[in-house]
Amino acid sequence: MKLTLDPKPDQAPAPVFDWSTTPARLARDYDGFYVKVIDDVFSPEECAALIALAESDAKWAQAAVHYGLAAHQQYVDTEYRNSERILRFDHDASEKIYQRLLPHVQELVELKKGGPWASVVAPSGRIEGTWRLIGINERLSYLRYGIGNYFRDHCDGQLELPDGRKSRVTVQIYLGDDGVEGGATRITSLGSAKSRAYHDVEPKKGRVLIFQQRGLWHSGEDVTKGTKYTLRSDFMFRQDLSEDE
């Protein structure tokens, strides 16, 4: 099955998330962190098509926790992560999703020392070379959360693939259902659980959440009604060290 996504011209670039609208502790911890929340990027019909693509040749299975790239480097821990997943490796679909999202992430196209978003890939002043955005990871992780399902606090892993591509930014596409309650992606401040501040990004159909992987703590909150569908992948970069010479 092939994914069809018609061009969506004249998309207005989405602004970077304004941390000043969040609790003071959260704004302090994540000042300068890259996050975008973009509504209506995908139509309801496109969301349905994305789910159908996943289900066209695979079945839902318990989501695992990964600690490496190899197929055996995973384990199931439902106290920490409890949902179902389909992993699909699809270059064609990932390229179409990338072209849909690219107008919204122009500030990530090239990252280098002194640039406003160099901290996406490395702490301030420590970026090496030039990082160029080249696409979305063809590893498409579809997730289905029923009532009571969740993903506890974590930071997303920063992948380094054998072909030299590196992930530093997560893409989360909310695919539905209509009427789902709970299931927000909760961005949490640092510190003990009792004193944390947070901001919830609700899983609205067609919405896309984009965020840097380095140092941003978040969770998938418990679904209390309906079924939450998401598609998660990564923006991929190539690092050119020659420009440091």
- Number of other CB atoms surrounding residue 37 within 10 Å: 19
Q: What pLDDT score does 64 carry?
A: 85
For range 225-244, the mean pLDDT: 93
Closest CA to 34 of 21, 18, 20: 18
pLDDT band at 244 (very low <50, low <70, confident <90, very high): low
Question: What letters, b where the CB count within 10 A reaches 16 and e where it falls short, cover 66-100?
Answer: eeeeeeeeeeeeeeebbbbbbebebeebbebbbeb
Q: What pLDDT score does 55 carry?
A: 97
Check residues 190 and 16 and name the one with the higher pLDDT: 16
For range 82-103, the mean pLDDT: 96
Q: What are phi and psi of 3, to 5 degrees?
A: -85, 135
Contact indicator for 233, 136 with CB cutoff of 8 Å: yes
CA gyration radius for the chain?
A: 18
List, for residues 46-57, the tens digit of each pLDDT value: 999 999 999 999
145: which 2 tokens?
């959360």
pLDDT band at 209 (very low <50, low <70, confident <90, very high): very high
pLDDT band at 183 (very low <50, low <70, confident <90, very high): very high
List, for residues 131-162, the tens digit of each pLDDT value: 999 999 999 999 999 999 999 999 999 999 99
H helices then E strands: how many in the chain?
A: 3, 18
Q: Is the peptide bond before 31 cis (omega within 30 degrees of 0)?
A: no
**pTM assigned to the model:** 0.94
Q: What pLDDT score does 243 carry?
A: 67
Closest CA to 155 of 245, 219, 85, 108: 219
Distance CA 65, CA 81 (A): 7
Which amino acid is located at 43 in the chain? Answer: S
Q: What pLDDT score does 132 carry?
A: 98
